[in-house]
């Protein structure tokens, strides 16, 4: 019984992982692999330039969407509302901006392949178009 | 490692692209919130007035950020706010400035001109935003509501920077200008707007803060001055009040727990007002601090407990001399506030907050210059509730 539970857990974890979000970047930014810590800074809007001088353009999906939440937990290891609080502080003090919120993964793919310095995410099940790269850490 | 996947070209994508690039290239960002609250008080008139409870707790803001060209940004927020007896209903620009910034290493340097927010401590700049502050009523030892108006909105210049440091970010501000003062300050300090008027004088501040995933540390200093011009002769004298305050801030996060503490040490220098301007300046060295323990539970629920202490004059921590000199009870010289609260995000854009303050003392209860022991007890309490909604386009 315990063995079964363990295997179910392993199976569940495997499934959960396979449906995770994948980080994608514009091909102008491929030289800079990022540890999770850097990703958190980028999606918190606290790291605003790539080392080559391109401005980082951060795209996200609706913060209440499942994919955004999965992305926060699995790739950033941060609770979605903690991340939102960091943007709110910038937005409502006037000192900064939040990420650009997009309506769909199709829009995300298109904009990231077109925008130099862009970073965002799509679900694992989506195949990614040219001009952009999947970033696996 | 990076993987390249085949290009997909759909007519639909091109259409989406057109629509979206129009939206992106204009570089507009619109955000806002609305919050409605309720406050009930016992043995006090602070915020609630004579009715002992109030629904006049409303906050709303509409914020715009616009980047017409690289390096240049304009930002503005229009706010509506009413806060019981402390703030009359009013619409104003919370901030309105032009900003020029440039890359330095992986960080940036910039300058702003216009109206911007005071950055003192962790919460000053967003103290009126339900989603960014830790509680409905902030710890008054650091973020006093009675003096909010004399330090919050700065009109002038702000030199700032943001830099990658170790595993986090360091940001700093140096600001010079004048504070934007409203009639609320007249009422909260003097008890009535009919006795005279406060006007803005010089303001200087510096702020530096480091933040990574686990730690947030900050130091701020500000020097804010307001002058007073009496309209009724003989009651109060012309004069000015100058605040010179240091604030040290620290926050530690471990898994789902967070501990925050801030400490304020400063001088309030009063010239005139209660004595002719020829008289010597009155120095009141004050101190305030709070410790806040917080748990971030599953289902977006946040629980906190906080102890907040303020001493108006450190040479007289129990208010004994205060009572001897001014005749008002000693408990107007200090305040101890225990706060218990809960915050819940039922969805990403909604926040329900609820808290209870168990308070001893009344050093920050308005009106400051004319304490009212008949309506303000030594031991008193406040209950506050607020529902807020946020939007972002």
Q: Which range, of B182-191, B203-212, B383-392, averages the lowest pLDDT? A: B182-191
DSSP state of B135: S
Residues B112-169: pLDDT tens digits?
Answer: 999 999 999 999 999 999 999 999 999 999 999 988 888 899 999 999 999 989 889 9
Coil, strand or helix: which one is B169?
strand
**pLDDT for res A94:** 93
Binning pLDDT at 50, 70 and 90, where does residue B192 land?
confident
Supply φ then ψ for residue A11, to 5 degrees: -60, -45
CB A109 within 8 A of CB A115: no
Question: B6 and A130 in contact by Cβ < 8 A?
Answer: yes
Supply φ then ψ for residue A27, to 5 degrees: -70, -5
Question: B20 and A127 in contact by Cβ < 8 A?
Answer: no
- Return d(Cα A98, Cα B30) in angstroms, integer: 10
CB-based contact, A23 to chain B, within 8 Å? no
Other beta carbons within 10 Å of A41: 25
Name the residue of chain A whose CA is nearest to B105's CA. Answer: A51
**pLDDT for res A7:** 47
Report DSSP letters for B140-157, one per residue.
TTTS-STTGGGTSEEEEE
CA distance, residue A88 to nearest chain B CA (Å): 6
**pLDDT for res B286:** 93
Residue A119's nearest CA partner among A17, A13, A34, A7 is A34
Name the residue of chain B whose CA is nearest to A86's CA. Answer: B132
Closest to B106 (Cβ–Cβ): which among A47, A101, A130?
A47
Binning pLDDT at 50, 70 and 90, where does residue B37 land?
very high
- Return d(Cα B140, Cα B132) in angstroms, integer: 17
Question: B4 and A130 in contact by Cβ < 8 A?
Answer: yes
**How far lies B349's CA from each of A85, A124, B83, in Å?**
11, 26, 22
Question: A101 and B13 in contact by Cβ < 8 A?
Answer: no
Q: What is the pTM of this model?
A: 0.86
- For residue A135, the chain B residues in CB contact (below 8 A) are 2
- Return d(Cα B286, Cα B267) in angstroms, integer: 6
ipTM for the whole complex: 0.85
- Return d(Cα B173, Cα B158) in angstroms, integer: 6
Question: A46 and B211 in contact by Cβ < 8 A?
Answer: yes
Residue A103's nearest CA partner among B33, B19, B5 is B19
- Return d(Cα B391, Cα B248) in angstroms, integer: 33
- Return d(Cα B79, Cα B59) in angstroms, integer: 7
CB-based contact, A20 to chain B, within 8 Å? no
Mutation for B interface: A61, A92, A112, most B CBs within 10 A: A92
Residues B314-329: pLDDT tens digits?
Answer: 999 999 998 998 889 9
Identity of the highest mean pLDDT range in A3-7, A126-130, B215-219: B215-219
Question: B348 and A30 in contact by Cβ < 8 A?
Answer: no
């Amino acid at each position: 019984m315990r063995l079964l539970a363990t295997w179910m857990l392993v199976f569940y974890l495997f499934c959960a992982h396979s449906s995770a979000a994948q980080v994608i970047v514009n091909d102008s930014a491929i030289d800079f692999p990022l540890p999770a810590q850097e990703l958190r800074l980028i999606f918190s809007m606290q790291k605003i330039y790539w080392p080559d001088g391109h401005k980082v353009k951060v795209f996200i999906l609706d913060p209440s969407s499942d994919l955004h939440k999965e992305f926060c937990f699995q790739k950033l290891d941060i609770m979605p509302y903690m991340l939102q609080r960091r943007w709110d502080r910038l937005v409502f003090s006037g000192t900064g901006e939040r990420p650009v919120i997009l309506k769909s993964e199709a829009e995300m793919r298109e904009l990231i392949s077109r925008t130099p310095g862009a970073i965002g995410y799509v679900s694992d099940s989506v195949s990614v178009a040219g001009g952009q790269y999947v970033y696996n850490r | 490692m990076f993987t390249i996947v085949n290009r997909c070209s759909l007519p639909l994508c091109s259409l989406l692209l057109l629509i979206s690039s129009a939206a992106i290239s204009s570089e507009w960002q619109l955000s806002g919130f609305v919050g409605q609250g309720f406050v009930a008080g016992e043995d006090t008139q602070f915020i609630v007035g004579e009715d002992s409870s109030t629904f006049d707790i409303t906050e709303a803001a509409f914020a715009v950020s616009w980047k017409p060209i690289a390096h240049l940004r304009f930002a503005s927020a229009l706010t509506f706010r009413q806060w019981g007896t402390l703030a009359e209903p009013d619409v104003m620009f919370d901030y309105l400035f032009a900003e020029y910034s440039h890359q330095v290493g992986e960080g940036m340097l910039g300058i702003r001109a216009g109206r911007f927010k005071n950055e003192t401590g962790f919460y000053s700049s967003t103290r009126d935003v339900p989603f960014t502050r830790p509680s409905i009523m902030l710890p008054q030892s650091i973020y006093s509501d009675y003096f909010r108006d004399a330090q919050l909105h700065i009109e002038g210049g702000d030199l700032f920077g943001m830099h990658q440091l170790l595993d986090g970010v360091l940001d700093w501000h140096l600001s010079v200008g004048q504070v934007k003062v409203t009639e609320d300050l007249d009422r909260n300090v003097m008890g009535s707007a009919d006795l005279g008027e406060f006007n803005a004088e010089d303001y200087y501040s510096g702020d530096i803060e480091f933040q990574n995933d686990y730690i947030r540390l900050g130091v701020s200093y500000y020097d804010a001055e307001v002058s007073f011009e009496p309209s009724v002769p003989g009651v109060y004298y012309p004069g000015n009040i100058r605040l010179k305050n240091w604030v040290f801030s620290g926050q530690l996060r471990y898994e789902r727990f967070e501990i925050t503490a801030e400490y304020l040490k400063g001088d309030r220098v009063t010239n005139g007002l209660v004595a002719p301007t020829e008289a010597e300046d009155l120095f009141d060295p004050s101190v305030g601090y709070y410790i806040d323990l917080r748990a971030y539970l599953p289902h977006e629920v946040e629980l906190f407990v906080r102890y907040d202490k303020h001493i108006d004059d450190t040479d007289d921590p129990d208010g004994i001399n205060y009572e001897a000199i001014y005749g008002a009870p000693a408990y107007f010289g200090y305040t101890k506030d225990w706060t218990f609260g809960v915050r819940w995000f039922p969805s990403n854009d909604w926040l329900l907050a609820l808290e209870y303050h168990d308070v001893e003392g009344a050093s920050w209860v308005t009106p400051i210059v004319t304490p009212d022991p008949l309506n303000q007890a030594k031991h008193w309490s406040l209950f506050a509730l607020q529902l807020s909604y946020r939007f972002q386009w």
